[in-house]
Amino acid sequence: MTYPDDMFEVAERREAERRALDALDKLYEENGDALKQLAEIENKEIMERIHRKERVLERYNRFYNTECSGLPHGTPITPEFQQAMTLECMLDALRCENLNHEFDVISTDDINDLINGLYQQGKDSLARPEWAHPESSLAKNFNLGDK
């Protein structure tokens, strides 16, 4: 190709890009409100999912703590019993979340969200110094468990 031909190709490509951008601008002008509504709906769905994950994790912790605190001190417990209690508490938390829905199937997303939440909760717990744990005697003596 010669020099002027290259310039014409570049000019044609830029003109095509400009037309595409103009068409996109026109689309936004004509449908901007609908696109904003769609973005709001997607944001709302994301926030609902985040709140749902937090509720399920909170319920799981409540069920698990209630179940474990009901065991007399010194009760011999095998890892299998511990796993069974854990799974039972997971199902109880998910059943409570789905009370108003048909409950034949558990979404694996819900289970994965709960697992990820538990991992994060464990990481957060390990990241705190011992005296900052709400259950520690130092935290109770200095009322750090209420924060």
101-111 pLDDT, tens digit per residue, is: 666 666 778 78
**Does residue 21 lie in a domain region?**
yes
Would you say residue 7 lies in a domain?
yes
Domain total in the chain: 1
Contact of 125 with 133, CB cutoff 8 Å = yes
How many of the other CB atoms lie within 10 Å of CB of 89? 21
Give a yes or no: residue 141 inside a domain: no
Distance CA 43, CA 124 (A): 26
Amino acid (1-letter code) at residue 33:
D
Domain assignment present for residue 125? The answer is no
* 126-147 pLDDT tens trace: 787 766 656 655 555 555 544 4
Cα separations (Å) of 15 from 19, 31, 92, 141?
A: 6, 24, 61, 73
Q: What is the pLDDT of residues 3-53, one digit of tens each?
A: 677 788 888 899 999 999 998 888 888 888 888 888 899 999 999 888 888
Q: Which pLDDT score, from 0 to 100, does residue 128 have? A: 74
The pTM assigned to this predicted structure is 0.51
- What span, in angstroms and rounded, lies between the C-alpha atoms of 16 and 19? 5
116 falls within a domain: no
Does the residue 139 lie in any domain? no
Range of the domain at 51: 3-106
pLDDT, tens only, 72-118: 777 777 777 777 788 888 878 887 877 766 666 667 787 888 888 88
Q: What's CA 102's distance to the chain center, in Å?
A: 23
The SS3 call for residue 141 is: helix
What is residue 44's predicted lDDT score, i.e. its pLDDT? 93
What pLDDT, on a 0 to 100 scale, did the predictor assign at position 42? 92
Question: Is the pLDDT at 125 greater than 60, yes or no?
Answer: yes
